[in-house]
Structure 1
Amino acid sequence: MRTGTDVLHATDWSRLLQADGTADEVPEALAAFLERDEAGWHRALDHLYEQLLGDDGVYPATVPAVLFVSGLLDHPVADAVPPWDGPWPRTLRGVLLEFLCDAARHARWDDSPDEHLAAMAEVDGDLVGRFLQGLVDETGEDDEEDGDALDFEETEEAHGALLARAALDLRAAAPALYDLVRPHLTHEDRHVRQRAAEAAGELAWLGGLELDLSDAADLAETRDEGAAIVLALGRNGRDTSEFLTHPDPAIRACAALAPSLRGDPAATEELAAVLTHAEEVDSWFSTRPRCFDGPVRSALVWELGQRWDAEDRDAADLLPVARAVVRATDPDSLSEDLGALYGALFRLGDGARWRTEDLGGVQRDYLRVLVDDDRLWSRADDRSEVMRRAWELMRDEPEPPGWRWLDQGDLRRFLDVLGLPRDREGLRKLVDG
């Protein structure tokens, strides 16, 4: 299997799909990694993330791009330390490992089994060929005259088939990629070791491999590395219960997140315990583990909410967590933080509104947590003012953007969706009757 620079020249990129069409410009974009050009590196990374990783998964052009990137891990240029933001200097090697980890995560396709992807990929070859030819031609006029133009459903079917096949191809390449990442588990740079552990974990799951991080564990010096290792083990189905008694709360929480511990009361209670100190959670890591797409706090709250419901526990017992999370939340993660705690308690039909007589005692207690937190409303007012001013600047546009609702602010929008009053006094009156 070719890796590294050979891939750029041996691949017919014009017949491969990326986010916005065919991937003709990929070789030029990625070749910048071979030069000591920081601006070029930025452009190459932007291309990797914007064109080759999408909400739907990975694209056909992603697979050779990943093989190219994996071959750079031992290239001399990977030792370079670009002047990018971070808690310590990050080598290009560490950044490339981050991409390999992210690509493997996208190829998980919501953990769909190979059989499901294979069924999606089984589409008439002529249909896929016509779809690709339409991209190459950059116009559907001639196709339409010849009766070859695809309708919407055919286009979606062909597009889905290509993405499913790309995910299968990346899964097939995972063992070779895993072997290329493993040597960096014992690298002298701790950032490289952490990112290598995360990439190895994702690639092991993707390829159905037995994950071995023992060498990395022997060298782990920091909380960040330890957490990355425990998270990788958990995501690969390992029993991480031995770490639930670790002296470090971050390690305990990462162990509790393991899918194998869903339904384990000790793991659920550990998540609840660490979240009573929610303000501390997002200061745990110098380099946040890659599996957390946003604030660590938000991921813990979501998982706790799912498990609390699944174990049919009393919502009243999570009030201390609600208080701590409300104190810690901010406008950028408010919905993610509060949705898991409040969403199930205040679920109504579309357009329905809560009345005082509809509220139970536990629901009133949860609403009082919101009403009583001065800082929450102060932050909400600050964000609302920012959004109001943004709307003022944009409202005279000929075609104003469809985000007028932003001037409500995140908290008010969140309350409105739940059928609750959007202002503090209205919420107070609802709770007190």
Structure 2
Amino acid sequence: MSLSKCCDTIPVVDDRAHDVDWSGLFHARGRASDTPGHVAALLGDDAEALVDGYTHLWSATLRREGKAWPATAPTAMLVVELLDNPLLGPDDPSLPDAMLAYLYEVGVAADLGDRAGEIRARVQDRVSELRGWTAEYVSADADGRAQMWQDGKAPGDLVLDQAALACFDLVPVLLRRTLPYLASERVRRRTCAAAAVGSLARHPAAAAQRPELLKQLLTMARASESSHDLATILIAIGSLGGDTRPWLSDPHGGVRVCAALAPDLAGDDTAEQVLVELARSPKAFGKSFGDMAPPLQLQSKWFQDLLKERCTS
């Protein structure tokens, strides 16, 4: 089944997809007109189209550097709509989990700290120029697009900052839609939701919610029966400024490391000793979760950089 036919036979992912000028947006491979069809394929029964859609979602609409493309924010809205769709993964519960993991990555891309106001001011001053550059970019072939990135005077970097700002502005909606999954009946889904909340709730608009969210995450951590899930939840707690010290002495090495990575524990003697041990034997950390990959947050460049910085300081 072709993607065009797939989109004709699958219920619309989100009516708001029709309100987005996807042809005026771009992702890693160029014009983003193909993105709604790829996302819709995740709801279908065409195995090949589903794999292509999944691959497109992760490799085209997200940047490896933990940043956004112009297509990222509207794609995130499609993804959050998928979470409530019964056609998503009826025989594969890992698909909704992966959508929550995607929202975690969007939260990382949207984590602008105190830069949001400065980016907004710069974007507002150059809206027409950015629109013109983008129109030229999506109309160019691959060689032309590559050349445009090499032009130091072009506003491409600001276009990408604008894309991150769009994600930043969307985070309150994504967080609200993600929170119910902290109470999912599926353990893995709760864990993936915790990871997503750990990045999304760093947004300034969530400041008032954060204390209650931390209480909920701490309750989940104490009740966790899996070291992998516990480690994932602890990273989320640390990201939101919660106290992970009680787990610095956990018998599981991977759990200790994830507790020690909490930004607020930088300089803490016990946490630093845990990370010194990690630096001495990084393979032991990789093996500590058995056949499972390390917690999903550690696959993000932001956390990889943090891990490198903390282990070598």
Pick closer, same or farther for the CA change 1:136–1:225 going to 2, 3 Å. closer
Does the CA contact (< 8 Å) of 1:198 and 1:228 recur in 2?
yes
Pick closer, same or farther for the CA change 1:11–1:301 going to 2, 3 Å. closer
Q: Which amino acid aligns with 1:53?
A: L
Residue number in structure 2 paired with 1:64: 74
Q: Is 1:247 aligned to 2:254, yes or no? A: no
Pick closer, same or farther for the CA change 1:189–1:151 going to 2, 3 Å. closer
Residue number in structure 2 paired with 1:117: 119
Deviation at 1:62, TM superposition (A): 0.9
Deviation at 1:237, TM superposition (A): 2.1
Residue number in structure 1 paired with 2:131: 129
Deviation at 1:76, TM superposition (A): 0.8
Once the two structures are superposed, residues 119-171 of structure 1 have per-residue CA deviations (whole angstroms, 9 ceiling, x without a partner) of 442442221232133235448xxxxxxxxx9992442x1x2222212212211
Give the gaps of 5 or more residues in structure 2. Answer: 1-11, 142-147
Deviation at 1:116, TM superposition (A): 3.7
Pick closer, same or farther for the CA change 1:130–1:287 going to 2, 3 Å. same
Residue number in structure 1 paired with 2:145: none
Give the TM-score normalised by the residue count of structure 2. Answer: 0.79
SS at match of 2:251: coil
Q: Which moved more, 1:90-99 or 1:210-219?
A: 210-219
Deviation at 1:292, TM superposition (A): 1.2
Q: Pick from 176, 181, 186: which aligns with 1:179? A: 176
Please give the alpha-carbon distance, in whole angstroms, between the structure 2 residues aligned to 1:200 and 1:104: 8
Once the two structures are superposed, residues 317-374 of structure 1 have per-residue CA deviations (whole angstroms, 9 ceiling, x without a partner) of xxxxxxxxxxxxxxxxxxxxxxxxxxxxxxxxxxxxxxxxxxxxxxxxxxxxxxxxxx
Q: Is 1:54 aligned to 2:63, yes or no? A: yes
SS at match of 2:298: coil
Please give the alpha-carbon distance, in whole angstroms, between the structure 2 residues aligned to 1:291 and 1:151: 31
Q: Is 1:43 aligned to 2:49, yes or no? A: no
Equivalence map 1:7-406=2 (5 Å): 7-55=16-64, 57-82=67-92, 90-108=93-111, 111=113, 113-138=115-140, 152-155=151-154, 157=155, 159-209=156-206, 210=210, 211-212=213-214, 213-214=217-218, 216-217=220-221, 219-273=223-277, 278-285=282-289, 286-293=292-299, 302-306=309-313
SS at match of 1:291: helix
Does the CA contact (< 8 Å) of 2:231 and 2:255 recur in 1?
yes
Does the CA contact (< 8 Å) of 1:16 and 1:60 recur in 2?
yes
Pick closer, same or farther for the CA change 1:232–1:41 going to 2, 3 Å. same
Q: Which amino acid aligns with 1:99?
A: Y
Once the two structures are superposed, residues 41-60 of structure 1 have per-residue CA deviations (whole angstroms, 9 ceiling, x without a partner) of 22112212222112462122
Please give the alpha-carbon distance, in whole angstroms, between the structure 2 residues aligned to 1:294 and 1:129: 30
Does the CA contact (< 8 Å) of 1:67 and 1:177 recur in 2?
yes
Please give the alpha-carbon distance, in whole angstroms, between the structure 1 residues aligned to 2:276 and 2:140: 54
Pick closer, same or farther for the CA change 1:301–1:60 going to 2, 3 Å. closer
Pick closer, same or farther for the CA change 1:272–1:132 going to 2, 3 Å. closer
Pick closer, same or farther for the CA change 1:130–1:186 going to 2, 3 Å. same
Does the CA contact (< 8 Å) of 1:58 and 1:106 recur in 2?
yes
Please give the alpha-carbon distance, in whole angstroms, between the structure 2 residues aligned to 1:52 and 1:150: 18
Does the CA contact (< 8 Å) of 1:17 and 1:60 recur in 2?
yes
Larger Rg: 1
Deviation at 1:214, TM superposition (A): 4.4
Once the two structures are superposed, residues 231-256 of structure 1 have per-residue CA deviations (whole angstroms, 9 ceiling, x without a partner) of 11111222322322333332222111
Does the CA contact (< 8 Å) of 1:172 and 1:207 recur in 2?
no
Deviation at 1:8, TM superposition (A): 2.2
Pick closer, same or farther for the CA change 1:131–1:250 going to 2, 3 Å. same
Residue number in structure 1 paired with 2:144: none
Deviation at 1:188, TM superposition (A): 2.4
Give the gaps of 5 or more residues in structure 1. Answer: 83-89, 140-148, 307-433
Pick closer, same or farther for the CA change 1:198–1:135 going to 2, 3 Å. same
The structure showing larger relative contact order (alpha-carbon pairs under 8 Å, at least 6 residues apart) is 2
Please give the alpha-carbon distance, in whole angstroms, between the structure 2 residues aligned to 1:137 and 1:275: 47
Deviation at 1:275, TM superposition (A): 5.1
Residue number in structure 2 paired with 1:5: 14
Identity of aligned residues (%): 27
